[in-house]
């Protein structure tokens, strides 16, 4: 108990001294404020340097965007109503679209013009309305996509696979519209399979460190399109 009391008394004696400590006697007259300002600036700079270092570590570390998230059955059931799509209507898949919910595992967050595929495999999950038609296999999905091309790449291979069809295309810089036949049934899962992932940072003046494949702009379910 005496040792604790002695320590407390020592702290109480030292702290006021530290608070009242005047460094101005070590500096030329009139430079005390400048010294404090320089000290504060140095502290701010040190904090910013630490934050920058942490940011670089995060960027250069494993990219969580390339991991495929698993979508559980419970979540998929909750999204059924939001994933209803019309027929013969081209719908955008950007951040303002009410149909962005069809973007399943493997897609990056939607942007203003479309959504990037950020995994080797990505899924579009949607539900068709009951048309009352006996031949539902007459329906096809049309996708508007553009590839990410870096370095000397002139094209990128993409496979689009539904429950009834598989199409492989070689996408050039201008992009393309891809059509794949849909399987009968209300629920549809269409996979986009990429040959590889690349970073836009490989291009000059880019600081985008994500690893991407293609960007999907819009989709449409068509009747007898092919």
CATH number at residue 158: 2.60.120
Given 60, 83, 103, the domain boundary residue is: 60
Is the same domain home to 138 and 189? yes
Three-state DSSP class for 208?
coil
Of 150, 108, 119, the closest CA to residue 213 belongs to 119
Given 10, 40, 60, the domain boundary residue is: 60
Higher pLDDT, 135 or 123: 123
Mean pLDDT of the 83-89 span: 95
Is the same domain home to 186 and 167? yes
Tell me the C-alpha distance between 141 and 181, whole Å: 6
Calculate what percentage of the chain has a pLDDT beyond 90: 50
Distance of CA 18 to the CA centre of its chain: 49
- 168: containing domain: 64-223
pLDDT tens per residue across span 29-55: 555 556 556 666 665 666 565 445 445
Cβ–Cβ < 8 Å for 91, 219: yes
- Structure confidence at residue 75 (pLDDT): 81
Cβ–Cβ < 8 Å for 142, 222: yes
Higher pLDDT, 42 or 176: 176
Is the same domain home to 107 and 30? no
When divided into structural domains, the chain yields a total of 2
What six digits make up the tokens of 95?
A: 């951040």
Is the same domain home to 188 and 78? yes
Is the same domain home to 102 and 185? yes
Bridge partners (DSSP) listed for residue 169 = 158
Given 12, 30, 60, the domain boundary residue is: 60
């Amino acid at each position: 108990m005496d040792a604790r009391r002695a320590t407390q008394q020592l702290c109480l004696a030292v702290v006021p001294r530290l608070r009242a400590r005047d460094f101005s006697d070590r500096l030329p007259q009139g430079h005390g404020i400048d010294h404090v300002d320089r000290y504060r600036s140095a502290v701010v700079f040190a904090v910013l340097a630490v934050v920058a270092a942490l940011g670089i570590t995060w960027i250069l570390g494993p990219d969580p965007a390339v991991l495929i998230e698993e979508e559980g059955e419970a979540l998929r059931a909750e999204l059924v109503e939001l994933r209803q799509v019309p027929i013969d209507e081209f719908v955008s898949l950007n951040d303002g679209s009410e149909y962005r919910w069809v973007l399943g595992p493997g897609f990056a967050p939607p942007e203003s013009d479309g959504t990037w595929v950020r995994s080797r495999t990505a899924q579009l999950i949607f539900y068709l309305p009951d048309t009352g038609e006996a031949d539902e296999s007459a329906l096809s999905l049309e996708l508007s996509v553009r590839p990410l091309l870096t370095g000397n790449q002139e094209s990128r291979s993409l496979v689009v696979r539904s429950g009834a069809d598989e199409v492989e295309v070689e996408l050039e810089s201008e992009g393309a519209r891809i059509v794949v036949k849909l399987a009968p049934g209300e629920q549809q899962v269409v996979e986009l399979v990429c040959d590889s992932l690349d970073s836009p940072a490989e291009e000059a003046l880019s600081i985008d460190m994500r690893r991407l494949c293609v960007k999907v702009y819009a989709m449409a379910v068509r009747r007898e399109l092919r």
